[in-house]
Structure 1
Amino acid sequence: MNETAVPGGVDEAGLDLDALRQRGRLAPRLKLEPLMARWPLWPHLLAPAPYAFNLAFRLIPLLESFLQRPKAHAAACKDPALFGGPFVALAESALDEVSRYLAQLRRQHAALLRFAEDFKSFDKALQQQADGYALDQLYADLPASLSGLVELLYDLHNHPTMRLFEDLLYASPLDISDAQSVCLHLQDDDQRPFFLSTPLLDAPDRLFIHRRFDDPLLAEVLATRWRPGLPESLLSLIAQSSVPRATLRQMFITEALQRQQPDYRGDGLRMRYFGHACVLIQSRDTAVLIDPVTAWQRQGEDATLCFDDLPDHIDYVLISHAHQDHLVAETLLQLRERIGTVVVPANDRGNLADPSLRLMLQQLGFRSIRSMEPFERLPIAGGEIVSLPFVGEHGGLDIASKHSLLLRCQGRSILFMVDSDAVDPRLTERLVERIGPVDILFVGMECCGAPVSWLYGPLLPEALSRRNDQSRRFSGSNCERAWAALQALGSRQVFVYAMGQEPWMKHLMGLAYEPDSPQLLEIREFLRRCEAAGISARSLKGCYEEVFAAAAPEPGERRP
């Protein structure tokens, strides 16, 4: 961004630069979308190794398919039933531009593409050659793209594998920071293309800022979502932009934000549900936000709360796992200056399918990051946060970057099971033996999720058979498993959540339920059982608010 000072006054198209300089903010409808080489950012694009694999074995083949069969892609994009499929949402007139972009992508990321191809090829040879004998001699055969970046290992079954030195990848020729940018564009939440399908190419109504996510100048722009006054760097970019002035007038506002009591000074705990898995818990002393993703503007009955209603300071943001609907870079970036500490599950194992959340968040410019081991406790004002094991939702893959979260505050205990599948009831019973009963439970019941290849396909050495792929799904608990967990935990209040049915989640979820979908049938049966047992139960969709009264301590009891 050019930081040249921009004259004041009203320009020839009616853009009041002085007003924007003093009171300007990003309009609620304006999307400030982080990109990696023009692709909408999701967690696997934040880490060099899975980014390389997705680029080589998903994104580039997708563009090649579009170039070969643009009419088929266009037809598929018009069919609502195929939303979320591998179809590029671009017009046939974009063929030449896509062809140029694809050539540029190959040039810009030649080292990453070579790394992905060499990793896959060497791993295949390793699986064929290694028979339990020492692997030392194979280091000499490592391609230059892998040398010094991997360790060759056996597991206890004598299966060979490669462990990545992730920290080194970020500082090697695989450094991906130059591909980072953000795009400012006007688009309603429910009109956004599916996150895996379509790059954001140049368009008259798009304003691109080619800066690293941790760049201080970009931080100034991000802050104008809630702090008045457009920085000179952004005004300069606006002045030089070819975006029509009529569009620019819609991108920025000078009116004060209309906020709905973002701070809480009452007794007990205020729970605000912002949709999907995003829950804000506030006491008079602290604010804890789980898996932040919100509507960007209030609209209709669903979006009664939006991004503007989040507090100015959030003490802790808790990330449950690294899927695109729980670690949402778009939301995190625009909250970054308002967050005290981000809490993530501990993981630095060098697993291709399980990149370090700590390193990914550092790429987003976060510095105060707390990694928690299972059962580790983090003291907060009036209570504590406890990290707990999380089973399921990852298609049977060896993923450590996931945890359920127990929040104790004001004498209340609230457990967020997120997308975990209570497939082993004895585990829940053992958790209760360790942590005691839980007052309030949040449980996900997406019991029929996508197959493992939907997200992790590009990382798999060999394609799974259809039978095996369909058996390994991103699934949460069904009625029986959720009910068994609820009984073991002893909760008297339960919320079903994280079902992804809000309009602002459409581009991240790619799904829509019918009234007779198995997920909804299971939820109805679960709610019926709760009602029969006298347990307060609610299925959440959209936004919701409730205040939980503080629990009086028992005589002689010491609160954490």
Structure 2
Amino acid sequence: MNTDLYYLRPNVVFEPLIGRWYAWSHLISPATAAMNVQGRHLKIMNSYIQAPQIHAAAVLNPKMLGGPFMDYKESKVEEIKALKENTIKEQAPLLRLAEAIRELNSMLEKEAKGHSLESLYEKVPEILKGYVELTYDLNNKPSFRFFEPLLYKSEFYDQRSQSLALWVTENDERPFCLSTPRIDAPGVLHLDIPFDHPGIDALSRMKRIPGPIDEVAALLGVTAADRKLFDTFFTKEEHPPYRPYEGPAVRMRYFGHACILIETQGVSILVDPLISYYGYESSVSHFSDVDIPDTIDYVLITHNHQDHILFETLLSLRHRIKNIVVPRTTTGALQDPNLKLVFNAAGFHQVIELDDMETVRLGDCVITGIPFTGEHSDLNIQAKTCYHVEINDYSFLFAADSRVLESRLYQHVHRLTGDIDVIFLGMECDGAPLSWLYGPLMPEELARDKDQSRRLAGSDFGKGIHLVDTFRPKEVYVYAMGMEPWLEFISTVRYTAASNPIVQSNMLVEECRNRGVIAERLYGEKEILYAKSPAAVTEEVNG
């Protein structure tokens, strides 16, 4: 037995998969998983099997980025046929659930006309009985809600579909995560383990604390045939140690997209973790895993989109995270899965739900949930919140992708928060249409003009300047634009100077600067030290 101690190489990717598709929250919650397997995965696989050449051409067209096209440069038809057959067999309960959800919706549309719904429970599809409550809204429109915790205890939640792909990367290039499954390939090791497996934490710790390879291999169930590949993921070379912040100020570090780290001597807060871990040369300066604290007091999740909840990052950090704060939802609606249940299922147990204007306190730090409107295509989704963080006499507003739909909302909020020192605002103001993300959940395809009008859009100049007018910040940072190269496999964003989000955010930055407000559109990395008193001059460090 080899008792030597090794580190995990910094450029080993932890890619969580469900049914060999990139794992995101809608593939964990049983009801949304069912609809995505049926309405996204099988559709894409069938399309590829029928015409792989169309997919190969589409992924080369920049206008098709983010579309339902598999990114395989050579034909993998036989492999995809095998994956399809395995999906139909192994995920049969989810496919039955998807059909039952569609049947239930159709039944309610035909028979629920405003009279009591009690008699319709006998017409609920058999496999859904006891898992749903039938409801009307106040306009007598019928609907239903899930008893979601029960679904996680049923046949519809099966951890056997979860796995982890390990491989070494040298660049940021990856296929779009929602359209291309991960089939067997040289250099990729697939571990058939659930996301709550303790071996994931043991492996992650070896990025900083060396350990014996034999021990972690046994814990993960690595086979003898895979040991040669598994062993290549390790090195005896020590990684640079994390240097905790020990200054008297508040340190802000931008890690790309919507990921912000706020640190003092006593508290660390990480917002929407999405980190380029991997230790390879890049044309864009950026912080990485070596810049993340050994202990993270709070991870703040703003909303349930795949570019804000990245399990690839979160599973690697799980052993360091003390608490995850998520927006509260108990709607039971198909489009609004409960995030606490999602994170619990993935092995995160210290999960705090926060409602609008509720607070969490840690010493002198106060975290408050702030209403988040827009960016969800007008669907009734409650699992979204902005965060107001007060720490060491400074206040920060992480507005994420919020779009100001009603100007008076934040005026009401301002009466409670007062002025805010620093605002972070997402301005991806065009956004994808409703169907791009939520299409598999829709019982019927939406007309194109309606689909195009209901977009996953953040703030434009007018919406953003309203926040500035309302909260009177000293600093404004545009973020969450998905521009960093390590984001492309999730966001598929490629802006030019003429792109509307760039034009709109440029306008905001210029207007703020004309008013004497510090403003910038963030990219790559940035570090700022905020002194104890907001009146003091801040020290800025750019990467």
- Band of TM-score, shorter chain: over 0.9
Q: Which residue of 2 aligns with 1:287?
A: 268
After superposition, the C-alpha distances for 1:95-116 in whole angstroms (9 at most, x for unaligned) are 1221122111101111110110
CA RMSD of aligned residues (A): 1.7
Q: Which residue of 2 aligns with 1:489?
A: 471
* 1:314 is aligned to 2:300: no
Q: Which residue of 2 aligns with 1:266?
A: 247
Contact 1:295 1:307 (C-alpha < 8 Å) held by counterparts: yes
Q: Which residue of 1 aligns with 2:202?
A: 220
Q: Which residue of 1 aligns with 2:224?
A: 240
Shift of 1:140: 1.1
Which amino acid counterpart does residue 435 of structure 2 have in structure 1? S
Q: Distance in 2 between matches of 1:233 and 1:84?
A: 40
Q: Which residue of 2 aligns with 1:35?
A: 17
Which amino acid counterpart does residue 407 of structure 2 have in structure 1? P
TM-score (norm 1): 0.92
Shift of 1:430: 1.1
Q: Which residue of 1 aligns with 2:348?
A: 366
Q: Distance in 1 between matches of 2:489 and 2:61?
A: 15
Q: Which residue of 2 aligns with 1:23?
A: 6
Q: Which residue of 1 aligns with 2:239?
A: 257
Q: Distance in 2 between matches of 1:180 and 1:231?
A: 23
Closer, same or farther: CA 304–119 of 1 in aligned 2, 3 Å: closer
Contact 1:450 1:474 (C-alpha < 8 Å) held by counterparts: yes
Any gaps of 5 or more consecutive residues in structure 1? 1-6, 9-17, 554-560
Which amino acid counterpart does residue 187 of structure 2 have in structure 1? D
Contact 1:207 1:241 (C-alpha < 8 Å) held by counterparts: no
Counterpart among 138, 141, 155 of residue 120 in structure 2: 138
Q: Which residue of 2 aligns with 1:46?
A: 28
Q: Distance in 1 between matches of 2:384 and 2:252?
A: 23
Counterpart among 28, 41, 46 of residue 64 in structure 1: 46
Q: Which residue of 2 aligns with 1:342?
A: 324
Shift of 1:242: 4.3
Which moves more between the two structures, 187-196 or 99-108?
Answer: 187-196
Which amino acid counterpart does residue 29 of structure 2 have in structure 1? A
Q: Distance in 1 between matches of 2:353 and 2:186?
A: 42
Shift of 1:274: 0.4
Which amino acid counterpart does residue 262 of structure 2 have in structure 1? I
Q: Distance in 1 between matches of 2:213 and 2:343?
A: 25
Match of 1:23, SS state, is: strand
Closer, same or farther: CA 422–552 of 1 in aligned 2, 3 Å: closer
Match of 1:469, SS state, is: helix
Shift of 1:380: 1.5
Match of 1:361, SS state, is: helix
State how 1:380-419 maps to structure 2 within 5 Å: 380-419=362-401
Shift of 1:251: 2.4
Shift of 1:250: 4.8
Contact 2:398 2:423 (C-alpha < 8 Å) held by counterparts: yes
Closer, same or farther: CA 532–168 of 1 in aligned 2, 3 Å: same
Which amino acid counterpart does residue 48 of structure 1 have in structure 2? P
Q: Distance in 2 between matches of 1:218 and 1:332?
A: 11
After superposition, the C-alpha distances for 1:287-341 in whole angstroms (9 at most, x for unaligned) are 0000001111354352431022100001000000010011111111111110111
Q: Which residue of 2 aligns with 1:187?
A: 169
After superposition, the C-alpha distances for 1:131-179 in whole angstroms (9 at most, x for unaligned) are 1111111111122221111111111111111110100101111022111
Contact 1:220 1:231 (C-alpha < 8 Å) held by counterparts: no
Q: Which residue of 1 aligns with 2:259?
A: 278
Match of 1:400, SS state, is: coil
Match of 2:486, SS state, is: helix
* 1:104 is aligned to 2:115: no
State how 1:200-219 maps to structure 2 within 5 Å: 200-219=182-201
After superposition, the C-alpha distances for 1:474-503 in whole angstroms (9 at most, x for unaligned) are 111111111111111011111111101011
Q: Which residue of 2 aligns with 1:558?
A: none
Contact 2:93 2:155 (C-alpha < 8 Å) held by counterparts: yes
Shift of 1:513: 0.4
* Equivalent pairs, count: 532
Q: Distance in 1 between matches of 2:215 and 2:446?
A: 49
Q: Which residue of 2 aligns with 1:450?
A: 432
Q: Which residue of 1 aligns with 2:140?
A: 158
Which amino acid counterpart does residue 375 of structure 2 have in structure 1? E
Shift of 1:281: 0.3
Q: Distance in 2 between matches of 1:473 and 1:521?
A: 18
Match of 1:152, SS state, is: strand
Q: Which residue of 2 aligns with 1:557?
A: none
Contact 1:189 1:503 (C-alpha < 8 Å) held by counterparts: no
Contact 1:296 1:306 (C-alpha < 8 Å) held by counterparts: yes
Which moves more between the two structures, 116-125 or 211-220?
Answer: 211-220
* 1:467 is aligned to 2:449: yes
Q: Which residue of 2 aligns with 1:168?
A: 150
State how 1:74-153 maps to structure 2 within 5 Å: 74-153=56-135
Match of 2:331, SS state, is: coil
Closer, same or farther: CA 368–189 of 1 in aligned 2, 3 Å: farther
Contact 1:336 1:366 (C-alpha < 8 Å) held by counterparts: yes
Contact 2:390 2:396 (C-alpha < 8 Å) held by counterparts: yes
Contact 2:18 2:161 (C-alpha < 8 Å) held by counterparts: yes
Match of 1:156, SS state, is: coil
Q: Which residue of 2 aligns with 1:300?
A: 282
Match of 1:203, SS state, is: coil
Contact 1:348 1:356 (C-alpha < 8 Å) held by counterparts: yes
